[in-house]
Structure 1
Amino acid sequence: GRGELARGGSSGTSNLVAEGDKVQVILDVQQFSPNEITVKTVENTVVVEGKHEEKQDEHGYISRHFIRRYMLPRDVEVNNITSSLSSDGVLTITAPKRVQQIEGGERSVPIVQTGVPAVKQAPGQETSIKIEQQN
């Protein structure tokens, strides 16, 4: 919702959030319509451009143009970047991180706990045999 971003002036707020397995750029572009915004990647930067042609308002003609460049971390999958625009004019660009490659070709494999036994115990195997002592 609107409360998430502090709106500052007409320049629009933006921030870059790195969390876990992805990096997100969040940018306020409410003055622009979707067809006036372009998002592209140049090497490991994301370039966001917004452009209004001249429009008339009560003060005369106005045109707006901005370019923002965001340096991305080296471990981001540039080819898999996606962007979305919310109805209230917040552009979110999501860049997934590459699976961590550890030096030497090692890779840690996550262990998934299934919660079920792999081998069903044979009946009677688990019961301990009690030896009754006779007096």
Structure 2
Amino acid sequence: QVNLDVQHFLPEEISVKTADGYIVVEGKHEEKKDDHGFVSRSFTRRYALPEGTHPETVESKLSSDGVLTITAPKKVSDVSKAERPVPIAKTGPVRKEIKDRTVPDEPKEEEK
């Protein structure tokens, strides 16, 4: 997870993308006039994707106070094929009476 302070940029001035095993964050706004003249800001940040992370799982969120949070969940390892016992937890009663749900045998045809 990465947190970036991007409060000087509007949401539409920020982009997050994945490319060639990296997360690339860019921010740029055109010249704006302030008390001392004109200001132009831009930045580019590149972060290597952690090993075992799929690029399509990367997510980004922008908070109302200008913090961009990028998360890259790691891939869940393959399900183990090894046998393991599953414990049975004891609980209170589910029903007072459980009816027998077995299917009765069908009558057999007599042989002639």
Query: What TM-score do you get using the length of structure 2 for normalisation?
Result: 0.70
Give aligned-pair identity as a percent. Answer: 54
Equivalent residue for 2:63, pick from 86, 91, 99: 86
Provide the C-alpha distance between the structure 1 equivalents of 2:54 and 2:43, rounded to a whole number of angstroms: 25
Which position in structure 1 is the counterpart of 2:4? Answer: 27
Q: Which 5+ residue runs of structure 2 have no aligned equivalent?
A: 92-112
Deviations 1:75-132 (A, max 9, x none): 112111111000110000111110124xxxx727898766336xxxxxxxxxxxxxxx
Provide the C-alpha distance between the structure 1 equivalents of 2:16 and 2:9, rounded to a whole number of angstroms: 13
Provide the C-alpha distance between the structure 1 equivalents of 2:24 and 2:86, rounded to a whole number of angstroms: 39
Cα pair 1:25 1:94 within 8 Å, conserved: yes
Q: Which 5+ residue runs of structure 1 have no aligned equivalent?
A: 1-23, 118-135
Which position in structure 2 is the counterpart of 1:50? Answer: 27
Q: Which residue identity is paired with 2:17?
A: K
Aligned runs of 1:66-105 on 2, under 5 Å?
66-101=43-78
State the Cα RMSD in Å: 2.7
Instruction: Check if 1:107 corresponds to 2:80.
Output: yes
Report how many residues are paired. Answer: 91
Rg (Cα) greater in structure: 2
Cα pair 1:47 1:70 within 8 Å, conserved: yes
Query: What TM-score do you get using the length of structure 1 for normalisation?
Result: 0.59
Provide the C-alpha distance between the structure 1 equivalents of 2:63 and 2:86, rounded to a whole number of angstroms: 35
Equivalent residue for 1:116, pick from 77, 90, 96: 90
Provide the C-alpha distance between the structure 2 equivalents of 1:42 and 1:114, rounded to a whole number of angstroms: 47
